[in-house]
Structure 1
Amino acid sequence: MDLNLLEPFRHPIFAKHQLEVDILRLDRIDPMISGNKWFKLQHLLHRPSKRARILSFGGAYSNHLHALARFGQQNGIPTIGVVRGELRSTPTLEDCQKWGMQLYPLGREQYRDIRADDETSLGGDLRRELRARFGDFYLLPEGGATREAISGCGAIWGYVPEDYRPSRVLVSVGTGATLTGLIAKAPPGTQVDGVAAIGDAAYLVQVVSTLLYGRELEEGVRWSLNSALPLRFAKLNGELAALWYRAEEVGVELDPVYTLRMLHYLLRNILSGNYRKGERILLIHTGGLQGLRGQRENLSRLASAHCGPMPL
């Protein structure tokens, strides 16, 4: 695929601190199978029974379910979405149904108990109920986080020009699969920093460490995983909302759940003097812009009430 996805992110704050910042626009690969989701799902075409139906999990605004439904429609693969909580009319789920995904609501408490890394992790009663309703299916973990998906995310480096080598890469983190893939295939001497979409990244550090176990990294590759803010998943505050509008004003549209926190983390570290002068920093835009349809009103309300200083 011949795409130039690398673009400069120019702003006086970067020039002031003598930093070169660029964005890899993975959101432009496919308008619906957006960003890192495109890399996570490609392996599904190489299953022994590649047309067998796929069942996966997500919320009412899930980027993963949205991408999976479109992927299934494009490739003639039936899809099933187990949705956290009651079924609501959201633009995301409406798209999923339009593309042929069958939806199945699951209570929040029962949903929290799911460890969807293999079929046996589903409770016996739930597994029987799902099979009775849908027949046989291939179980895809929430977020599409499989070892094959990690290898797929390593292919993101193929969209970075050969003559461009960042000293530092920043990427937002949900399950850890994209971060792991980037670390595993990073060029020598690269620092890869993950920014968690949740307030406490401690358990994700263990997840990524486990996924990397036994993998031989290139010389000098280092990584970290931190939280941008002590906020629960998908929660916003006035500072983040105002930052989203400031980024849009300078031509960068971000999703408020993942990539917005990555930008916030970058700016806080710049203002804290944590980066060396002359560093070349690459931001990975992992897509997810479809979720904006459910967030614009909230972003506007929070941003209008924000009175503090803005780093951008």
Structure 2
Amino acid sequence: MLNFIATGLVVSGVGILVCSVFPIWKLMALLPREALRQSWYVLTALIMIFIIGYTAYIGVFWGAHERLANLVVPGIFFLGACFVLLVNYLSLKTTRDIQRMPVLEQESITDPLTELYNRRYLDRCLATEIDRANRYGISLSLLLLDIDHFKRINDSYGHQVGDVVLAELAQVIVNSVRTTDVVTRYGGEEIMVMAPSTPLETAVDLAARLRETIERESVDVPAKLHPELKELRITVSIGVASFQDGNDHETLIQSVDEALYRAKRNGRNCVSTVRPATTQP
């Protein structure tokens, strides 16, 4: 009976060691460079040596386990194999988690519909840029775009068509601004452009170009969403505000909101500006 238990422990250990090689192979496939895999090749070789040693132990000590104390070594072999499997599995899981971190980070700061940055990312970047502007006297401007009569589009053609309009508008804006500008979905049908190192006059020119481009472009509507509507034209109202010494995050956002409301009151499809009042100490 003791011989049967001892053999079972060692044979199970061999099986576990064999299984422990598979997580290593998967882990090495995830590693980008050959140099990073060398240590895992060594570990694989050591596991193969252990497997040979376990197998040799069975042959050499077959039938030699007559006392309970003789089960200590087979038990250690079995637990050692479990340890190797656990370490390899955790190494694989950790590697996968590390590789997923940039993806999760990107998902946390990205709007899934438009693939623009979201409000959380805007707040983070805006705080950084305001600090730089205060410290070094660098200009900073915000553009807030709102689709004119967007509710009418949703009511007339459905929310799926509205989603297409938002997604295509986002791409038009991204393709029209600098790579240093931060384009975010501010909320609903509003899109914010943060333009670092950009004075008010330059930001107004950018807003005017954006307005003209958006008015000129047409949105292609998939036939499955609306068979009778092949394309749709939209216009936007744009508010522009510029940073001044002493402004904070809330003041600048409030100013660009006010500028957007002015553009809407002025008949929409236009650009309006406002300079935020300096915050008193």
> If the TM-score is normalised by the length of the shorter chain, which range does it land in?
under 0.3
TM-score when normalising by structure 1 = 0.19
In terms of fraction of residues, the more helix-rich structure is 2
Query: Structure 2 length as normaliser, TM-score?
Result: 0.21
Which of structures 1 and 2 has the bigger CA Rg? 2
